[in-house]
């Protein structure tokens, strides 16, 4: 009985002990909860303060970056394709622009409505370079899109206010022809075949363009049935240096006189001499090539094509897989070239071989082609081929000199001249005619006032809707 009692008492004590502990545990729980809540509240408070501090810092950063970000957004979201030059302008380009020209220039770029007419000029006004030039600079500096830098030449100009391009008519370096027999007999060679004043003018032009009316080669045979065929020794290419030649046109009816292999020799010789060319190639793609010059912050495109021959087919037209010239009897292919040039440059110049030989009045066929070229976006048209001067005109503000004729071609006495294209700082384009005379295998710049005025008066008489002052500057009567 005692043992049972003892066990029972022990059990009761244990139960009572356990029961006595319970109230104590219940009394401690609220204290622990209050402590945890306080700690959680403190942490939350600290987190909120940290978040608020970070937001303040972020807001401060945003306020510092806002002008640049705003400029980026304005350009990328609201810049028209015309304003952006149809280039894939992105943040990488704008980063380069910012590094190159600074924050103020970037911000000023968006001062005006980016969709307004001539909005693209903002790039030039602020940097001295158009968007076409800036894009090339960006590609060059970043080492990207290298194909866009092909056939591009960067020129140093004599004046920052004006870019001067001189165009000369037909040259003939053909072996056995009168010009070369005369040259070879002169003590000073080519320098006795042109006046010093004329050579000085040509060499001083920022860009000098001539028509290469022959082929450079020792190969090939004369085209059967063709009355006149012209081929020069490849060494004659060095003569181009005397004129300060920057580019030649091969779009004519004599560059193919000795067949395809001689034409290809011509291309290789010019390439080896570092002389760019337009208007012919190893295939159609190459014949349609556009050459670009960067001058005074603007991108100038030079293109060329030949309408000749019209009634025969001695001179082959380039095809997808054969060499020849770019023809424009039907203007479609050349119009494509002009449109491409217009999309990728600031100024497009067409140098066209066309017209009827020995006719000083330009024909309806030339006017029709000129209409197509102007509609496609050309800015200047200079013509050749007729062996004589043809007049000048304007179409929708585009200056046209229909033919320069012969420049140094034979012994005949005839009036000739240089066509001078003047691109002003504001992008406006002017035309000037510098009278020259070819006589006894020598071409001279006319400096005598009486003789100069005689030629200018003659040019006015065969022109339409233009005035020509005593210095040869041509004006469009429709806008004067």
Q: What is the pLDDT of residue 36?
A: 57
* Per-position b or e across 204-222, b if 16+ CB within 10 A of its CB: ebbbbbbbbbbbbbeebee
Q: What is the pLDDT of residue 61?
A: 54
| CA-to-CA separations, 270 to 63, 249, 250, 275, 360, in angstroms, rounded | 58, 11, 11, 5, 32
Q: Residue 201 is inside which H or E element, if any?
A: helix 196-204
Cis-peptide, bond into residue 300, ω within 30° of zero: no
Q: What is the pLDDT of residue 90?
A: 97
DSSP assignment letter at 327: B
CA 403 remoteness from chain centre: 25
Rounded CA gap, 227 and 312, in Å? 12
Rounded CA gap, 238 and 243, in Å? 10
Q: What is the pLDDT of residue 309?
A: 85
Strand partners, 305: 352
| CA-to-CA separations, 33 to 28, 43, 44, in angstroms, rounded | 9, 15, 16
Region at 444 (left for phi over 0; alpha for psi -120 to 50; beta for the rest): beta
Q: What is the pLDDT of residue 119?
A: 76
Rounded CA gap, 363 and 465, in Å? 16
Helix axes 91-108, 131-142, angle to 10 degrees: 130
Q: What is the pLDDT of residue 312?
A: 79
SS (H, E, C) 117-179: CCCCHHHHHHHCCCHHHHHHHHHHHHCCCHHHHCCEEECCCCCCCEEEEEEEEEECCCCCCHH
Residues of the chain with pLDDT under 50: 1-30
Classify residue 99 by burial, with Cβ atoms within 10 Å: 0-12, 13-18, 19+.
exposed
Q: What is the pLDDT of residue 39?
A: 63
Q: What is the pLDDT of residue 292?
A: 98
Q: What is the pLDDT of residue 25?
A: 42
Please compute, for residue 254, the number of CA atoms within 13 A of its CA located in the half-sphere on the CB side.
21
β-strand pairing of 215-216 with 231-232: parallel
């Amino acid at each position: 009985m005692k043992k049972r009692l003892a066990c029972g008492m022990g059990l009761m004590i244990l139960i009572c002990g356990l029961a006595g502990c319970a109230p104590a545990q219940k009394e401690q729980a609220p204290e622990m909860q209050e402590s945890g809540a306080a700690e959680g509240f403190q942490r939350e408070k600290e987190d909120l303060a940290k978040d608020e501090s970070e937001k303040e810092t972020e807001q401060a950063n945003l306020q510092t970056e806002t002008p640049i970000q705003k400029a980026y957004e304005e350009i990328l979201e609201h810049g028209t394709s015309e304003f952006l030059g149809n280039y894939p302008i992105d943040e990488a380009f704008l980063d380069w622009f910012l590094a190159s020209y600074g924050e103020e220039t970037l911000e000023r770029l968006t001062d005006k409505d980016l969709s307004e007419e001539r909005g693209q000029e903002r790039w030039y006004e602020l940097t001295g370079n158009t968007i076409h030039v800036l894009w090339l600079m960006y590609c060059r500096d970043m080492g990207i899109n290298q194909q866009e830098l092909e056939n591009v030449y960067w020129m140093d100009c004599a004046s920052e206010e004006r870019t001067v391009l001189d165009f000369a008519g037909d040259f003939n370096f053909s072996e056995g022809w009168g010009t070369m027999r005369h040259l070879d007999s002169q003590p000073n060679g080519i320098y006795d075949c042109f006046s010093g004043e004329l050579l000085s003018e040509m060499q001083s032009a920022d860009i000098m363009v001539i028509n290469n009316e022959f082929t450079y080669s020792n190969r090939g045979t004369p085209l059967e049935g063709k009355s006149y065929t012209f081929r020069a020794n490849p060494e004659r290419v060095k003569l181009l240096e005397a004129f300060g030649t920057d580019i030649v046109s091969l779009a004519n009816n004599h560059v193919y006189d000795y067949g395809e292999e001689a034409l290809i020799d011509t291309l290789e010789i010019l390439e080896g001499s570092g002389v760019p060319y337009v208007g012919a190639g190893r295939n159609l793609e190459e014949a349609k090539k556009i050459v670009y010059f960067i001058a005074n912050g603007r991108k100038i495109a030079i293109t060329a094509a030949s309408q000749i021959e019209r009634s025969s087919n001695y001179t082959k037209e380039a095809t997808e897989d054969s060499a020849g010239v770019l023809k424009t009897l039907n203007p479609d292919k050349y119009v494509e070239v002009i449109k491409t040039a217009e999309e990728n440059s600031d100024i497009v110049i067409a140098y066209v071989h066309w017209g009827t030989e020995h006719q000083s009045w330009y024909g309806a066929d030339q006017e029709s082609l000129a209409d197509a070229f102007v509609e496609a976006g050309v800015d200047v048209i200079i013509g050749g081929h007729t062996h004589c001067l043809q007049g000048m005109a304007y179409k929708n503000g585009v200056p046209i000199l229909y033919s320069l004729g012969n420049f140094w071609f034979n012994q005949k006495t005839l009036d000739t001249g240089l066509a001078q294209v003047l691109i002003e700082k504001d992008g406006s384009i002017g035309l000037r005619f510098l009278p020259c005379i070819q006589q006894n295998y020598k071409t001279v710049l006319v400096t005598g006032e009486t003789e100069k005025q005689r030629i200018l008066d003659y040019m006015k008489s065969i022109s339409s809707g233009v005035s020509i002052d005593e210095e040869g500057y041509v004006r469009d009567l429709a806008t004067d």
